[in-house]
Chains A and B, each alone.
Chain A
Amino acid sequence: MPISVFAGVPAPRLFRCFRLASLFFGTISLLTACGSEPAETTAGKPAKGTKAPAEAPASAEAAPLHVSVFLEYSGGMKGFVPRGGADKPATEFQQRIGALITETQVSGAVAERKYYLCENAAPRPVKFEQLRDVVQGEVSQAALGTELPQMLEGILNRPKAGEEVSVVISDFIYGPARKSDFSQLPNLIRTSIAPVSQQQLAVAVFGETSHFYGSYFPAVKTPVQKRTLNGEKVPYYVWVIGPPAQVARYAAEVFRNAPAQQAFFGLKTKTPAFAPLLTKLTDPKLKSSGGTVYAENNGLTLNPSDDPVDFSVGLDLKELPAAWQKPTFLAQHLQVRLPNGQASLLPNSVRPLTDEEQSGQPVLAPYTHVVRLRVSKLASPTATLTVSLPAPETPDWVAAWSTTNDNTPAPRTFGLDQILAGVRQSYPTTLPAVFTVQLPLKNDK
């Protein structure tokens, strides 16, 4: 090219032109090199304009938990903890609860742990080794036991019970001694767990059936007062009661290997890390599509007037119970709202991030899930998009596991639905959302 430009220019001058050009270029490239070199070292960091808006809550490490474990140890519980041996496999109760108390004992998420046996209204503090002995069937005598409301009351009326996590392990068979009490089951339970109502604590209920060897005391005392079972399966439950975020954390980090039947009441997590993912993505399926959308000042600026705008957002949901982290559950329950506009969750777009994606792409590292959102209308200049997880109502398994007559042992519990109705009534008619995250939007036009 330069040859044609300089056609006709005498050779010495042509040479000088090049000398001039190379001199200029040398000076300038030196200058720009000085400018761009320090910038290149910062290229790995997220750029200012696309910074994740909600990173702050994730970085604050949650305080370790204070946990008290209560094992009801009455005659009716003894059957769950037979003295085993090489020839007898451990019951489900022994496996599950043994693992749970061990995890509570050693987990780094737990700062302080206390153990109690509930033999009567006042729980008796015991050492971890003593509790473990009870679970593995080493202790033979059991107390007479106490009624469920008195037990719960004794547990929740301890000072500071509302600030820590209480784990109650029991069969939750409640047969009131006074016949008239049967009509008031939900209210009696609700009264006994009054601190749950007053301090808005959360209750997580885990249910499982376990082989049972020994005396079984049904709530309905006719035709027989007690039966001797030899390996039939009956349910037991683990209730985790405490401040919502702590219950969520205990369920997610300590009770990791929880049974499938779970019910949560009043559960809330702290605002999870949340941000739109627009740039530095290698997966084309995560990239935004449609009209204009870009990150700016902790929010998004977009223009959905021509095409609906699709973009991915990252969420850190590791604090949710395992069952709630499942994509099917989230796809069904997550709610997207956009006043003055239209936004939705794209079907089949909720998915957990694989370890590979999290470690391979720094921009995905703070998140456990990605969700794809579509904004198809935005009428006002600015708006706030909300993604929330409304608390689910009492799950269906509760009704299936309830019975009105437990005299014949079955994997059902007398009045479980009524007991949990008492728990449910401790909360407002509309349960507060488990979490809510917000994203400010700006219209690009």
Chain B
Amino acid sequence: MQTFFTSLYSALISIFQSQRPADYGLYKTDLFSLVGWSTLGVSLLLVLAFYYVFNSAMRTGMFRSTHWALTLALAAGLGVFLANSLSKSHGAEVSSYLGYFMVVNMIVAALWFLIFSVLLKRWSTYARTTPFVGPF
């Protein structure tokens, strides 16, 4: 899984910047998998909360696509936040690479959110068709 995250992130970041920073070793051994797992977890939690807490256990009426999009934006924002705070707390230096890592993690977080939404929405009581109907 570490290899997966490393290749995912370094491939995506290399779209923006091909030169690797001096602390790339830290990204490779620690940060990509740490941030990758946390982002995955946070996106999953947000999806579970949206579909099963607020739209199954509770009847809040927040089943509209707007609500869903807002939660997706929250996931993306947390992706940026996680990439930034975890990297810095593990000793990564402030660099353009870290900036692009944050951008990429924003996209990745949104992507996870979308994938989990599609996978899990059918078991929700009130938001089964949010943001769209189907595919199953």
Interface residues of A (CB under 8 A from B): 5-6, 9, 13, 16-17, 20-21, 24-25, 27-28, 31-32, 35-36, 39-40, 43, 45-50, 278-280, 287-288, 291-297, 301, 311, 444
Contact = CB atoms under 8 A, between A and B. Distances in A.
B41 to A, nearest CB: 8
Interface in B67-90: 67, 69-71, 74, 78, 81-82, 85-86, 88-90
Nearest to A44: B91
Given A50-B26, A294-B20, A294-B22, 8 more contacts: A5-B70, A21-B74, A36-B85, A36-B89, A39-B90, A43-B88, A47-B90, A311-B22
Interface string B5-33: 00000000000000111111111111000
Nearest to B42: A28
Contacts of B93: 279-280
22 contacts: A13-B61, A16-B62, A28-B45, A32-B82, A39-B86, A47-B26, A47-B90, A48-B26, A48-B29, A49-B27, A50-B25, A50-B26, A278-B22, A279-B91, A280-B91, A293-B20, A293-B22, A294-B23, A294-B25, A295-B23, A296-B24, A301-B24
A39 B74 CA distance: 24
B74 A46 contact: no
Contacts of B67: 17, 20
Contacts of A301: 24-25
B46 to A, nearest CB: 6
Contact of B24 (A16, A36, A39, A292): A292
A20 B61 CA distance: 11
B116 interface: no
Residue among A47, A49, A288 having the largest count of chain B Cβ atoms under 10 Å: A49
B115 to A, nearest CB: 18
Contacts of A16: 60-62
A31 B85 CA distance: 13
Interface string B91-122: 11100000000000000000000000000000
Contact of A17 (B66, B78, B81): B66
B66 A287 contact: no
B22 A48 contact: no
B54 interface: yes
A291 B19 CA distance: 7
Contacts of A296: 24-25, 28-29
Given A17-B70, A43-B90, A301-B25, A292 B19 contact: yes
Interface range, B side: 35 or more
Contacts of B49: 24, 27
Contacts, number: 114
A293 B21 CA distance: 7
A294 B26 CA distance: 9
B125 interface: no
A48 B60 contact: no
Nearest to B22: A278
Contacts of A21: 70-71, 74
Interface string B39-50: 000100110010
A36 B86 contact: yes
A200 B70 CA distance: 76
Contacts of A48: 26, 29-30
Contacts of B23: 47, 49-50, 278-279, 294-295
Return the 9 tightest CB-CB contacts between A and B, nearest first. Answer: A49-B26, A294-B24, A49-B25, A278-B22, A47-B91, A296-B25, A49-B29, A292-B20, A39-B89
Contacts of A31: 42, 45
Contacts of A27: 45, 49
Residue among A287, A291, A294 having the largest count of chain B Cβ atoms under 10 Å: A294
Nearest to B18: A292
Contacts of A278: 22-23
B56 interface: no
A306 B107 CA distance: 30
Contacts of A287: 22
Nearest to B67: A17
Contact of A43 (B25, B62, B91): B91
Contact of A25 (B29, B30, B74): B74
B22 A288 contact: yes
Nearest to A276: B22
A296 B24 CA distance: 8
A79 to B, nearest CB: 61
Nearest to A302: B20
B124 to A, nearest CB: 15
B102 to A, nearest CB: 14
B54 A20 contact: yes
B38 interface: yes
B66 A9 contact: yes
A237 B70 CA distance: 84
Given A16-B62, A49-B25, A292-B20, A32 B89 contact: no
A50 B25 CA distance: 6
B30 A24 contact: no
Residue among B60, B81, B91 having the largest count of chain A Cβ atoms under 10 Å: B91
A32 B22 contact: no
